[in-house]
């Protein structure tokens, strides 16, 4: 897929601004090591993954090299969302050697991080395959990478929860206490932003009943036992959608995926990622000017 095809607000603007910041923090006033290379020297490079992964982040890589040197030529062997086997060449790069080496680390940082997110999401999606449950991400993302990681989650075959604090209500324990109860909190939410999704987190079956009576769209069960989860599902059927949350790692997901719930959300998709091991290998033109 491509970032433009997603429904994530302002994703392309975020992408460009994020690359500007990332290059500024890495290059500063200039790449002094790259100055060791004659300015006109050309090179070819290839980026290889050392491990199996699900790819995400092509547009971020392209934007890095576009901002550094728009004459560089990239040739991709894989699309975002595709599974890539270890030792495969992901893309090739051709052009000015200084430009390639200056952009190498920033480009790979984006690609390894977002592919790490997508790879984790793909693992979770496989665990839920054959069920009707949708696996959702959370707001537990790397600061500044919210929209990028949300996109990577989609590449892995999972789904986005709310993007931020502005597009849906998620009423938790502290909100309920401050608002004066579940019914008041839900009623105020409908007044503040009519039509927005309203979700309520509950900790027991009594709160679940209150949330159902208040007209919540989605009810999040926080740390419910399996027995209480089954009771909650029966209580909510036809009235509200059910989401399971709280300490959902891949092991617990396997236990939960068979339950008849609508959603399972997990912060593990974005906060516990391990970056994919990538390597850039470069061949420098031996002529003094590159041609």
Which positions are catalytic?
Answer: 105, 140, 172, 201, 222
Cα 138 to the center of its chain, rounded Å: 9
* Tokens encoding 52: 């199996």
From residue 279, alpha-carbon distances to 86, 91, 131, 268 in Å are 11, 11, 37, 25
CA distance 171 to 177: 10
The residue among 60, 47, 70, 58 whose CA lies nearest residue 21 is 60
Contact 162, 28 (CB under 8 A): no
Lookup result for tokens 């027991």: 204
Number of helical H runs and strand E runs in the chain: 10, 12
Q: What would the two tokens of residue 2 be?
A: 């491509």
| Nearest residue to 118 via CA among 20, 63, 52 | 52
């Amino acid at each position: 897929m491509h970032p433009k095809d997603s429904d994530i607000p302002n994703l392309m603007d975020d992408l460009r601004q994020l690359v500007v910041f990332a290059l500024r923090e890495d290059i500063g006033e200039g790449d002094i090591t790259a100055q060791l290379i004659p300015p006109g020297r050309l090179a070819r490079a290839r980026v290889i993954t050392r491990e199996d992964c699900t790819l995400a982040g092509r547009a971020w890589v392209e934007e890095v090299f576009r901002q550094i040197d728009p004459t560089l030529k990239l040739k991709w062997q894989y699309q975002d969302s595709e599974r890539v086997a270890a030792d495969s060449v992901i893309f090739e790069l051709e052009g000015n050697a200084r430009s390639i080496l200056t952009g190498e680390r920033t480009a790979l940082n984006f690609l390894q991080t977002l592919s790490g997110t997508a790879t984790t999401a793909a693992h979770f999606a496989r665990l839920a395959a054959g069920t009707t449950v949708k696996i959702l991400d959370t707001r537990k993302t790397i600061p500044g990478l919210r929209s990028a990681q949300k996109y990577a989650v989609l590449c892995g075959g999972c789904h986005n929860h709310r993007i931020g604090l502005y597009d849906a209500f998620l009423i938790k324990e502290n909100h309920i206490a401050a608002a004066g109860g579940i019914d008041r909190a839900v009623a105020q939410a409908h007044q503040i932003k009519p039509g927005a999704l309203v979700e309520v987190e509950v900790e027991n079956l009594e709160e679940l009943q209150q949330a159902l009576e208040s007209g919540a769209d989605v009810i999040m069960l926080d740390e419910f036992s399996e027995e209480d989860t089954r009771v909650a599902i029966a209580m909510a059927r036809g009235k509200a959608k059910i989401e399971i949350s709280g300490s959902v790692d891949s092991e617990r997901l396997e236990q939960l995926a068979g339950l008849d719930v609508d959603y399972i959300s997990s912060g593990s998709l974005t906060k516990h990622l391990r970056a994919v091991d990538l390597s850039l290998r470069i061949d420098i033109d031996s002529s003094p000017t590159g041609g």
